[in-house]
Amino acid sequence: MNALKIHEIPGRVTISSGNGGLPVIRVRSDFSTAEIYPHGAHVTGFQKHGEAPLLFMSAASEFRAETPIRGGVPVIFPWFGSRGGMVAHGFARLAEWDLVATSVLPLGSIKLSFQLPTEEPYRVTFDVTIGSSLIMALAVCNTGAAPFTFETCLHTYFQIGDIRQLRVAGLQGTRYHDQLLAADLTETADAIRFSAETDRTYQDTAATVAIIDPVLDRSMIVSKTGSKSTVVWNPWIAKSQRMPDFGDDEYLRMVCVESGNVSENAVTLAPGEESLLTVEVSSFPFTDPIGSRAG
């Protein structure tokens, strides 16, 4: 904890004991507040002044060193999903990342920089900028002598009013793999609507996605660079009841729109090469580019 405190900035960045006794970093910019746990370099909160939180956190999340945090923005690396008995979604979300720098930017945003401790032949850094939007940048550099293939994803949980009234737009015409149907399909709808468990990986897309939420009277925008995959997920009723760190009815108030490079869009770096995945999350008063509120 003391080693972290050297990065505090009075009135801007404070470090204390959080849930489960894990260290937590709390940030206040000119525009917003945020909360980040070095455990997983996990952003657990982002809220613009005067607005509802943009990120969803499960009230049942287990804040323990040996388990991932449920909600917010888990950092997925170096694989997505399960891998032959190994920890799901990779080890990065279970690691204690090093906080290496904090700074106040000229226009009043706050930037924090993390590095993944590892003896492997690669370097992984994660920068989080808290301002009028939330900007996250995950960089991977191959420091070894052989090619390195990996998957990345910023597994963002968004807080919403009611999943049954939500729409996710921007992916029409995009090919996707439906995990539940074990089928490859193409999105034909102008927006994704939810009436059952949804688990889809959209491939070969760099599109900006809009989360249209008439209940909370806002639209959230997910824009990205260095990403060819977008994952859309909601566990619905039965899976929510099977998850020990997720409330039975919390599926109503969340949706995951995840940005990264997974499956066939996995990244291969030659020695010395670097990849950069950047995701910006912003919100605006309710706008509906595809129809009326009642549509």
For residue range 76-89, what is the model confidence (pLDDT) as tens digits? 999 999 888 788 99
Mean pLDDT for the stretch of residues 44-68: 97
The predicted-structure confidence for 221-255, as pLDDT tens digits, reads as follows 999 999 999 999 999 999 999 999 999 999 999 99
289 vs 114, higher pLDDT: 114
Residue-wise burial string across 183-199, b where 16 or more C-beta atoms lie within 10 A, e elsewhere: eeeebeebbbebeebbb
- pLDDT(62) > 80: yes
pLDDT at residue number 290: 55
pLDDT at residue number 295: 34
Contact 32, 47 (CB under 8 A): yes
Beta-ladder partners of 14: 26
For residue 7, indicate whether it is catalytic: no
How far is it, in rounded angstroms, from Cα 139 to Cα 114?
Answer: 10
For residue 89, indicate whether it is catalytic: no
pLDDT at residue number 112: 98
The predicted-structure confidence for 172-220, as pLDDT tens digits, reads as follows 999 999 999 999 999 999 999 999 999 999 999 999 999 999 999 999 9
Query: Which pLDDT band holds residue 55 (cuts at 50, 70, 90)?
Result: very high
Mean pLDDT for the stretch of residues 110-122: 97
Q: Spell out the alpha helix ranges (H) of 137-283.
A: 236-242
- pLDDT(153) > 50: yes
Residue tagged active-site, from 155, 177, 187, 280: 155
Query: Which pLDDT band holds residue 2 (cuts at 50, 70, 90)?
Result: confident
The predicted-structure confidence for 247-266, as pLDDT tens digits, reads as follows 999 999 999 999 999 999 99
Residue tagged active-site, from 35, 151, 187, 258: 258
Query: Which pLDDT band holds residue 291 (cuts at 50, 70, 90)?
Result: low
Beta-ladder partners of 276: 139
Q: Spell out the alpha helix ranges (H) of the chain.
A: 2-5, 236-242
**pTM of structure:** 0.96
Class of domain 2-285: mainly beta
Mean pLDDT for the stretch of residues 98-124: 98
* Domain layout of the chain by residue ranges: 2-285
How far is it, in rounded angstroms, from Cα 30 to Cα 97?
Answer: 26
- pLDDT(287) > 90: no
The predicted-structure confidence for 124-151, as pLDDT tens digits, reads as follows 999 999 999 999 999 999 999 999 999 9
The predicted-structure confidence for 29-47, as pLDDT tens digits, reads as follows 999 999 999 999 999 999 9
Query: Which pLDDT band holds residue 293 (cuts at 50, 70, 90)?
Result: very low
pLDDT at residue number 3: 83
Report how many helices (DSSP H) and strands (DSSP E) the chain contains, helices first: 2, 23
